[in-house]
Structure 1
């Protein structure tokens, strides 16, 4: 791809970068990541090296754009939720539309011709793209035109339109608002939107963050949540015990697992107070024996009929979370499954063995593994077709709609390397199949 960004400075102007630094949550996140005002600010990157916006950054860009150009006209959560579904907040995403085969680009997956039309015919000129449609990859520019399109849809044909109309029209065009092809997008949007609290709700939680740090250890946020409390809980020093994270029944299951029992006894653990391992940065993680045991228990108790292999789940965990209890980046838990996806599995697919009442539930290894396994099961038969292991692994990481067979190599190699760590176990002859 010709367009490439390494720093925020590469894709925003000085005014917008200053505006980002003035957002308290962004400033806190950047300083915590080691950024220095006055120096170039690094963009976050996913495991494949693609630049993306954190939830904090996405909400900040949206708030700035709406405050400047669409005050009181657009709900920022709508913009954020659409970006979450359309691009997973990746800056450089390009996708071909099913009907016209034209490319949509960037955070909001805007058609370049739509952006030109909004600019030339409707007068949306706060961000220009004359001379280079590559400017649409810039976050402020892309969000601006996405918001402008939402604003136009909200009063389509001079009729005040419903939220459902706007969202489904954004995905499929005004002629497909009632078509079944946009219904699932609407349902997914409602779940994604829950990840972005209203402005009033956010302000309340910001106050709580400032005044209640002592209580932060027990508070966590989901993928998509514009709340920094989860970062506090992840970094809190001190001991983390298995017994405080999982149920008594699951602790009994772990003690009854022969490999785990041997490992725990060797490290002088005691029932009722089993310490989790921590790395050099004091982050709690599961040993491979513990991870394998959690996967074994989940499959044996709840998914026996699916004939899935626990080694597959372990390898996926290695790729997406490196076995860290809180996950990596904005992928929560050992299976790195977002709260919105887990909640959809819970509500729509009927996986109810574990309650899912808040994002912090996904920091229970058994809960994360359960919903991760359910998601793998669903992906393996996506759109009622038996899928290849390569498809399932990539779809788990980037979403089934974003799978590109030409881009599987890096992820698949990482997966196979991780899988080998479990296949080498004594008596384990699993192959690289999912089911």
Structure 2
């Protein structure tokens, strides 16, 4: 039986529908089109009768998914531009590639087996996708797995990849990322991205912070936001340990926190991060370099320590580090879990290939992977680490030599 969507309500759940109505641009567009809150909302149709998302709706879907799952890691406009090129924002678009013998589906034209791989092996388990590829016709699910794939491409082979590589690899595969066959796609992508409507109500911005000793000032966050509170990320036992720490207690008392509702600090773009007092260890310097202490991570970095799901799973299953469970990539948004697996990985690196390793090797292997280390070529990472570590050494002198881990 062919899949058919007449209403938005046919392809998203009530929670996502509410999130769409909460977007000011979407609610304005829907009300102007005669839609009413509490009743089914019609999908737009092209002259051939095919449903499509308006650019306002596409931006909202992308913004919601990125805000929930890829904060600071994926540019929402990248996904919107790809949706324009791949499907004209048509959720029921389906194409068969005779060369690859693969079928792509949905607004960002994802291959079902790629989505299933991301679910089963890479830990992206917010949406149950195995066994029912037709779920990729649903915009939220399609964009979620598309964003996960873009994130994976951005650190392919443990190397930070630029936007051009990611976009061209998305179109033609890894082997065609630098081939002339994907160059025209990249040029059209840039043109489409530049012409996208201005995002007045942005879910997440993009900026860089070069002064590691001066994070952006915290801002207020709506009550109930899952990313607003420490207590939603850490276990009661871990929270109790934090409350016992004198410097943390002093900092939290100063900001008038109370048990059960301890707020994360947030930067001007509402990205949650940990203060230096909250993470005062050598691991903290690595967290600064990897993720700038943002809870979700930054770019291809997963979590505050940048330990990805596969590595954490390996440490958990094969090496026996089981103090924290890791069933999905979401588990690594818990700062305690991310730091725990970060420390476990450092321990393993310290005796990589059965040899006692130098601090320079360990730090650079943590950041780039042990197989990619050339101490002469990557020495700048060690210099950066020492620079960032000096901030923490200074803080230790002011607050006393201590660790919260």
The verdict on how the C-alpha distance between 1:342 and 1:389 changes in structure 2, with shifts beyond 3 A counting, is same
Number of positions where the alignment pairs a residue of Structure 1 with one of Structure 2: 245
1:209 aligned to which of 129, 137, 140: 140
Separation (CA, whole Å) in 1 of partners of 2:373 and 2:247: 36
2:293 aligned to which of 323, 335, 348: 323
Match of 1:258 in 2: 246
Separation (CA, whole Å) in 2 of partners of 1:394 and 1:376: 11
Separation (CA, whole Å) in 2 of partners of 1:402 and 1:71: 34
Separation (CA, whole Å) in 1 of partners of 2:340 and 2:261: 24
Q: How does 1:34-433 map to 2 (within 5 A)?
A: 67-71=97-101, 204=135, 207=138, 209=140, 224=152, 235=204, 238=222, 239=225, 240-292=228-280, 310-311=281-282, 313-427=283-397
* Runs of 4 or more consecutive aligned structure 1 residues displaced over 3 Å after TM superposition: 27-31, 33-38, 76-82, 190-203, 220-226, 234-239, 426-430
Separation (CA, whole Å) in 2 of partners of 1:352 and 1:371: 9
Alignment check: 8 A CA contact 1:334 1:363 kept: yes
Residue 330 of structure 1: CA displacement? Answer: 2.1
Alignment check: 8 A CA contact 1:278 1:284 kept: yes
Alignment check: 8 A CA contact 1:325 1:334 kept: yes
Alignment check: 8 A CA contact 2:229 2:261 kept: yes
Separation (CA, whole Å) in 2 of partners of 1:208 and 1:263: 42
List per-residue Cα deviations over 1:281-302 (Å, max 9, x = no partner): 110000000112xxxxxxxxxx
Separation (CA, whole Å) in 1 of partners of 2:300 and 2:292: 13
The verdict on how the C-alpha distance between 1:404 and 1:210 changes in structure 2, with shifts beyond 3 A counting, is same
Name the SS for the 1:424 alignment partner: helix
CA RMSD of aligned residues (A): 4.6
Separation (CA, whole Å) in 2 of partners of 1:368 and 1:235: 22
The verdict on how the C-alpha distance between 1:202 and 1:408 changes in structure 2, with shifts beyond 3 A counting, is farther
The verdict on how the C-alpha distance between 1:354 and 1:210 changes in structure 2, with shifts beyond 3 A counting, is closer
List per-residue Cα deviations over 1:144-195 (Å, max 9, x = no partner): xxxxxxxxxxxxxxxxxxxxxxxxxxxxxxxxxxxxxxxxxxxxxx986666
Alignment check: 8 A CA contact 2:123 2:327 kept: no
Name the SS for the 2:324 alignment partner: coil
The verdict on how the C-alpha distance between 1:369 and 1:205 changes in structure 2, with shifts beyond 3 A counting, is farther
Structure 1 unaligned blocks of 5 or more: 1-23, 42-63, 85-189, 227-233, 293-309, 431-435
Alignment check: 8 A CA contact 1:255 1:261 kept: yes
Alignment check: 8 A CA contact 1:390 1:408 kept: no
Alignment check: 8 A CA contact 1:337 1:372 kept: yes
The verdict on how the C-alpha distance between 1:410 and 1:346 changes in structure 2, with shifts beyond 3 A counting, is same
The verdict on how the C-alpha distance between 1:202 and 1:336 changes in structure 2, with shifts beyond 3 A counting, is farther
Separation (CA, whole Å) in 1 of partners of 2:122 and 2:79: 29
Alignment check: 8 A CA contact 2:265 2:272 kept: yes
The verdict on how the C-alpha distance between 1:31 and 1:386 changes in structure 2, with shifts beyond 3 A counting, is closer
Q: Which has the higher helix share?
A: 1
TM-score in terms of structure 1 length: 0.47
Q: Which has the higher contact order (CA 8 A, sep 6+)?
A: 2
TM-score in terms of structure 2 length: 0.50
